A = this chain, B = another copy of it.
């Protein structure tokens, strides 16, 4: 079947509102054009969306997995890739080294072990991943310079530093968030001085407008393109561009059930949202909905289709093999989510 209307789609189906996506990409690239933004492909895992980001002036991309870089390079989208993650697997690193003959591939390291693995694979370019407060990857700021020396002694080119302030994305209140971003970036700035190199990379969708006076020269945002209900809480000027379309498959007097569940979206950032309804619960293949208390609207009928807003875009995207690009109720294209996997 080649559906031309969203009403014809078999569900659950991932929908991308192409005008909303375009608006988000424009808003971001206006403020952070060219290499000021290094869009994160992990948020969509889709070369078609990356191609649109490229058309908005961005040629450098952030990736979370070797698969994402290899897929982007094969699709001819982007020329400078930063693997903002630690990888030790020899086979995947060798595949990256092969890709780096044609495009620039830089990988994050935060330990002697990750440096050794990169050297063994024949990779040349690294950034030092610096812990700026999120208890995850990254070397302690005061050890960054020393690790850069180790990498240079091993023959690597150290292009600079990265440090993701992921723990600050949802800090409530712009002023409070800005203050903490500044503190976090002070750590990164000192590490950058010790490390040297031209790249100082950090930031995300939640702090997209808080880096004008920080040390960074590129922002790693990804979720801004498609958005989710968690980021929407921040009142940033990006709009929901991705939905899971569901069909009402069952209805009782008090609730209805759609065929969207834990296998077509994740709930790690809370339940998804449906306009006019409250979510009772999500199960593997189902979400049960009741009308909002103050709503005069009746439950939708069996067979009707409802749009569901995911609470967390990244893992939701990677549950689907394809997305339907649409405008209003018209299907324009089918996009493969072709960067899934590791």
Contacts and interface: CB of A to CB of B under 8 A. Distances in A.
A115 to B, nearest CB: 11
A111 B250 contact: yes
A341 B264 CA distance: 9
A180 to B, nearest CB: 18
A36 to B, nearest CB: 23
Contacts of A11: 89, 342
Copies of this protein in the assembly total 2
A2 to B, nearest CB: 12
A282 B166 CA distance: 12
B266 A137 contact: no
Contacts of A138: 250
Interface residues on A, range: 35 or more
A262 B315 contact: yes
Contacts of A55: none
A284 B67 CA distance: 15
A75 interface: no
Interface string A118-139: 0000000000010100011110
Nearest to A111: B302
A163 to B, nearest CB: 13
A250 B137 CA distance: 6
Q: Which 4 residue pairs of A and B lie closest in terms of their CB atoms, listed nearest first?
A: A137-B250, A86-B249, A113-B302, A262-B315
21 contacts: A10-B342, A64-B285, A85-B249, A85-B259, A86-B249, A86-B257, A88-B247, A88-B249, A114-B302, A135-B254, A135-B255, A135-B280, A137-B249, A137-B250, A262-B314, A262-B315, A263-B318, A267-B267, A267-B268, A284-B314, A321-B341
